[in-house]
Amino acid sequence: MNKEISPDSNHAMLTLGITSKLSGIPSHSIRQYIEKGLLIPFKLDSKRHLFSMNDVNRLKHIHYLIKEKGLNFAGIRALFSMIPCWEVMKCSSKDRLKCEGYISNSAPCWEASSKGLICKNETCRECVVYGCLNHTADLKSALKELA
Ligand code: SF4
């Protein structure tokens, strides 16, 4: 199978409408998830967004956390802020103290305005820390895989 069209691909090729159909989540909810920092779409120069099959999976997992687990946006953001990115990325203790991703307990690291040296030039959308929720809605299992 062509890697770019594999269902596991991170290749952004889907429009908002198609992503909505595939995930079963209305477009306005997808926009809200983006606004709340739960999903990072691929941004075209024209400012339009594109999505991948990983994004479709991630959307379903976020939806599950809201509908089945009763979490609100703040709860999901707090949950995501606990992913120990500093361990995964092996940030130095000095770097951690300057990184909002390490300090904040209310926002995920990919939303941090100040980041450590290792993350400064990384594309969060493609990072394993951000991506750990693409494959499961169970954060604990995702963390075990990251460890
Ligand atoms: S690259 Fe982005 S998502 Fe990955 S650990 Fe750093 S801030 Fe978080």
Residue 69 is classified by DSSP as: T
Segments making up each domain of the chain, as ranges:
3-146
Atom number of ligand 1 nearest to Cα 112: 7
DSSP per position, 97-124: HH-HHHH-SSS-GGG-SS--HHHHT--G
Contact 83, 136 (CB under 8 A): no
CATH fold of 3-146, please? Multidrug-efflux Transporter Regulator; Chain: A; Domain 2 (1.10.1660)
* List of residues 6+ apart from 93 with CB closer than 8 A: none
* β-strand partners of 50: 42
* β-strand partners of 51: 14
- Confidence band for 17, pLDDT divided at 50, 70 and 90: very high
**119 alpha carbon – ligand 1 mean position (Å):** 6
pLDDT tens digits for range 28-84 = 999 999 999 999 999 998 889 999 999 999 999 999 999 999 999 999 999 999 999
**23 alpha carbon – ligand 1 mean position (Å):** 25
pLDDT tens digits for range 94-134 = 999 989 999 999 999 999 999 988 998 889 999 999 999 88
Contact 59, 69 (CB under 8 A): no
Q: Is 125 in the pocket of ligand 1 (CB under 6 A)?
A: no
* C-alpha dihedral sign at 136, 54, 39, 102: positive
